[in-house]
Amino acid sequence: DTGVSQDPRHKITKRGQNVTFRCDPISEHNRLYWYRQTLGQGPEFLTYFQNEAQLEKSRLLSDRFSAERPKGSFSTLEIQRTEQGDSAMYLCASTHTGGRSYNEQFFGPGTRLTVL
Amino acid sequence: KQEVTQIPAALSVPEGENLVLNCSFTDSAIYNLQWFRQDPGKGLTSLLLIQSSQREQTSGRLNASLDKSSGRSTLYIAASQPGDSATYLCAAHNTNAGKSTFGDGTTLTVKP
């Protein structure tokens, strides 16, 4: 088990471009979360999946953001028409919803997005 | 709406000192509370998870407590070391929502 992985680790893009991030959760974890974190703040919830179903989306997630988790495995987060305000660290976490460690979240290393 | 507060925002202590980090939450209907460590530019590392039915959890030099009635959790670090320097975050997971709410963290510096 290699933990949660995210790709790419860093992304620099120009305003108006589209970007896509990938998250591979710990195998057999049925729940996957996306968060956004800016400097000096705690992670802010964006959305989460239970298997392949997207169960909740934050109001932070504008129409320019979309997330998928096909087949309940890896997940992608796409940002269309990026804006400078989208610059942040995008974090993915996974967990399983059973047993004593219900919802103990394990995080990936994050993708640092810089929009110029 | 759940709100999580961590005070102080920053803390500096000499090596060897015992210390307590605080986490307050406004909605006591939590399923569990989790403490994390974050090094600069990195992801979050899980330290301790306390279920709502538990009062405390221990791992090595770390001890976390939970008091749902007062909306408080503490993380006790014994015999601090320079390697403990990092930002410590707590997250409350509500029973009626899938998401967790994070505090903004306490940045700890342990001086040799």
A44 touches chain B (CB under 8 A): yes
Cβ-based contacts of A110 with chain B (< 8 Å): 42-43
Q: How many CB atoms lie within 10 A of CB A51?
A: 13
pLDDT of residue B95 exceeding 80, the answer is: no
pLDDT over 70 percentage in chain B: 98
Tokens representing B48? 């301790």
How many Å apart are CA A11 and CA B72, to the nearest integer?
38
Spatial CA neighbour of A86 closest among A6, A18, A9: A18
- Classify burial at A18, counting beta carbons within 10 Å of its beta carbon; exposed 0-12, middle 13-18, buried 19 or more: exposed
Alpha carbon of B87: minimum distance to chain A alpha carbons (Å): 10
Question: Tens of pLDDT along B25-81?
Answer: 999 888 899 999 999 989 999 999 998 889 999 999 999 999 999 999 999 999 999
What is residue A60's predicted lDDT score, i.e. its pLDDT? 79
What is residue A105's predicted lDDT score, i.e. its pLDDT? 92
Residue B19's pLDDT band (cuts 50, 70, 90): very high
pLDDT of residue B97 exceeding 70, the answer is: no
The residues, any chain, with a CB within 8 Å of residue A57's CB and separated by 6 or more, are A46, A47
What is residue A97's predicted lDDT score, i.e. its pLDDT? 77
- Classify burial at B75, counting beta carbons within 10 Å of its beta carbon; exposed 0-12, middle 13-18, buried 19 or more: buried
Identify the bridge partners of residue A13 per DSSP, sorted by sequence position. Answer: A115
Rama region for A64: left / alpha / beta (φ>0; ψ in -120 to 50; rest)? alpha
Alpha carbon of B84: minimum distance to chain A alpha carbons (Å): 18
The residues, any chain, with a CB within 8 Å of residue A62's CB and separated by 6 or more, are none
Return the residue in A105, A112, A114 with the most chain B beta carbons within 10 A, the one to mutate for interface testing. A105
Alpha carbon of B105: minimum distance to chain A alpha carbons (Å): 6
What is residue A101's predicted lDDT score, i.e. its pLDDT? 63
A11 touches chain B (CB under 8 A): no
Contact B44/A107, CB-based, under 8 Å? yes
CA-nearest residue of chain B to A101?
A: B49
For the stretch A56-63, contacts whose Cβ atoms lie closer than 8 Å and that sit 24 or more positions apart, written own/partner, are: A56/B97, A56/B98, A56/B99, A58/B99, A60/A36
Nearest to B31 among A31, A42, A103 (CB): A103
What is residue A1's predicted lDDT score, i.e. its pLDDT? 55
Residues in chain B, how many?
A: 112
CA-nearest residue of chain B to A43?
A: B102
The residue-averaged pLDDT of A46-67 equals: 91
pLDDT of residue A98 exceeding 90, the answer is: no
